Structure 1
């Protein structure tokens, strides 16, 4: 069958499309005729292996040539998507519906399932779900590391605030220290029986927060080591590019997933929120809006790469200087850089170097 990312008409390749509205405990599905758009059947099943088997058995009564349009293939629908992929079923990835697009504000699980099937029939280009394996492992590790970093930062900010308001005999121990030294000092503090309740409680809390921060930072470091190992075994060529470290490479790989999933470099830039949005009207024909949509983590990764290259990469520094003389401000220059970086990354991802190139 033609790749789902190509421009195809589903009505020409399948008899029915099964739209699935996924939730934590149940999935609602609707079988829609690919040629007429009519609803041939509806069912709601449990989000379990038994429920998936019941759903597949239900759809087999209608047609053998079928495609599945599933919302939330990477979250609530991950189990069903994995089961269907193992059976070599055709699966189309759909986003959750924008509430304003629902006709007359109507909302129910069966209606959303029907809408998913009909939306897949109307789309000129169809997206495939992200893969599992290395990509899913990276996604799990990146999420866990981000959570650990955020929690460690919260503990550090709380510790600093408590030191500012601590009694003088405690505060004097930290005077002139940087934050990392403060954490080490607080983690090693001991209480004394002669102290009052306020001082004892403050020292105990500071020690707890410091050790929590150290533990979370060590956890984040372990995640980063594992992420680095996976990136090096999967796409080590990304790490050779200026400004790209293991974390930014992992975020890019998680968003991209596999060759052919994103049909063009313009689509990749749109996914990253790095494609300018036209805002023309009347005689105004050269105005653009900032794109605040797309994968914001991928957008942040492009921003990190752009900032790093502006500091350390001479061709990027030369480009920045040239655009500055043309009247561009720093924000506009970074937006241009992010668009160029998105284009370069997409081409590299879709055309990985061969083993012969590495030698």
Structure 2
């Protein structure tokens, strides 16, 4: 009978230029450690170094989303079980000290114990493309806001003849007028320099607008192919959908339950009771950008969704505050989005509603009056611009009864 070699566990402390690798046995005994360059040849040497100690059980890697991203991809392609290792807490670090070998051994020990570890994002599919595009979009949006703020700041102290040209104009009209201006004269003169700078800033603003629009088109195209049903949810647009997919990652199976997704997006209720007060509050952990996206969905629904408005009114009568109501809504929205990500199902086809209404010679106003909704809300539902599955069924039943 062939002798079986005991399995080993590796830990890797990643940096920009080098990665430090440590290997331990299944009993926690230190077997060896070594530093490698963070380049393609270094990744191959890491694989050879780890496998030289025997069959590999798992590999704990720090920074799989930054310095260790490419290394994690290489190890996954080699069919190793890669775990993302969280940074040890400060108290433990003060007690045990810090160095690259120590950090690598601690990563291996965390992988062995299964503590402070998580499944890393794959970063090899369409969601990674969304992440990169969103990073560019965010910087372009910040730059656009900065340009507008700078233009307004310059206009505040500009000479009166320049200020008079753009006083009272809307933002769009002002930017168009600034871009079409033809400043002349010596830039050494303050009025001429001001006019020249304002025009250049307006041109920069237009370029940033064009860049953001192009990115939005690319994001929309990716979502249409890879997540076509996610935006069917009420209040979820391109920006929100792309952010939530980036938070989940290409390997959505890493989020194993709706409760885990709620914790990931920072909407998991946690106890906040004291004395005679029994209450919950939302977790302040998780991805804050994803939490912001969920918050936007809730705000949209509170303003435009009839079911949400009814729910808010009922909860207010029960004595709930706005924050408590939004906490409940966020958890509901997270549950709905998780189900759509893991088990996508398209929205009901709304085109037949309009055809059925017209076949029965019912006007939009008459239907809206009888159903007690705004005609515009009914029209948007018929055109598929909004999704409300419950109201869709109610409207369809009403049409069939007439």
Change (3 A) 1:307 1:231: same
Residue 50 (1) aligns with residue 50 (2): no
Q: 1:248·1:301 contact (CA, 8 Å) conserved in 2?
A: yes
Change (3 A) 1:279 1:16: farther
User: Following the alignment from structure 2 to structure 1, what is the Cα–Cα distance between the partners of residues 159 and 132?
Assistant: 42
- Cα root mean square deviation, aligned: 2.1
Farther off after superposition, 128-137 or 88-97 = 88-97
The match for 2:262 is 269
Residue 319 (1) aligns with residue 319 (2): no
Cα deviation code 1:121-147 (max 9, x no counterpart): 333795322121101101100111111
Q: SS at the partner of 1:75?
A: coil
Q: How does 1:85-104 map to 2 (within 5 A)?
A: 85-104=76-95
The match for 1:185 is 177
Residue 112 (1) aligns with residue 103 (2): yes
User: Following the alignment from structure 1 to structure 2, what is the Cα–Cα distance between the partners of residues 284 and 33?
Assistant: 51
Determine which of 66, 72, 91 is the counterpart of 2:57.
66
Residue 279 (1) aligns with residue 279 (2): no
User: Following the alignment from structure 2 to structure 1, what is the Cα–Cα distance between the partners of residues 295 and 154?
Assistant: 33
User: Following the alignment from structure 1 to structure 2, what is the Cα–Cα distance between the partners of residues 266 and 316?
Assistant: 22
Farther off after superposition, 333-342 or 236-245 = 333-342
Residue 249 (1) aligns with residue 241 (2): yes
Q: 1:92·1:126 contact (CA, 8 Å) conserved in 2?
A: yes
Cα deviation code 1:315-337 (max 9, x no counterpart): 11111111222222222222221
The match for 2:371 is none
Determine which of 13, 17, 35 is the counterpart of 1:25.
17
Cα distance, 1:115 vs. partner?
Answer: 1.6
User: Following the alignment from structure 1 to structure 2, what is the Cα–Cα distance between the partners of residues 284 and 25?
Assistant: 56
The match for 2:215 is 223
Determine which of 320, 324, 332 is the counterpart of 1:332.
324
Cα distance, 1:105 vs. partner?
Answer: 6.4
Change (3 A) 1:196 1:144: closer
Q: 2:272·2:279 contact (CA, 8 Å) conserved in 1?
A: yes
Farther off after superposition, 287-296 or 108-117 = 287-296
The match for 1:259 is 252
User: Following the alignment from structure 2 to structure 1, what is the Cα–Cα distance between the partners of residues 90 and 37?
Assistant: 25
Higher relative contact order (CA 8 A, sep 6+): 1
Q: SS at the partner of 1:102?
A: helix
Cα distance, 1:290 vs. partner?
Answer: 4.3
User: Following the alignment from structure 2 to structure 1, what is the Cα–Cα distance between the partners of residues 273 and 98?
Assistant: 34
User: Following the alignment from structure 2 to structure 1, what is the Cα–Cα distance between the partners of residues 193 and 46?
Assistant: 58
Q: 1:156·1:213 contact (CA, 8 Å) conserved in 2?
A: yes
Q: 2:10·2:56 contact (CA, 8 Å) conserved in 1?
A: no
Cα distance, 1:249 vs. partner?
Answer: 0.6
Q: Unpaired runs of 5+ in structure 1?
A: 1-13
Q: Unpaired runs of 5+ in structure 2?
A: 1-5, 350-402
The match for 2:203 is 211
Q: 1:127·1:262 contact (CA, 8 Å) conserved in 2?
A: no
The match for 2:119 is 128
Q: TM-score, normalised by structure 2?
A: 0.80
Q: 1:99·1:105 contact (CA, 8 Å) conserved in 2?
A: no
Residue-pair matches, total? 340
Q: How does 1:122-161 map to 2 (within 5 A)?
A: 122-123=113-114, 127-131=118-122, 132-161=124-153
Q: TM-score, normalised by structure 1?
A: 0.89
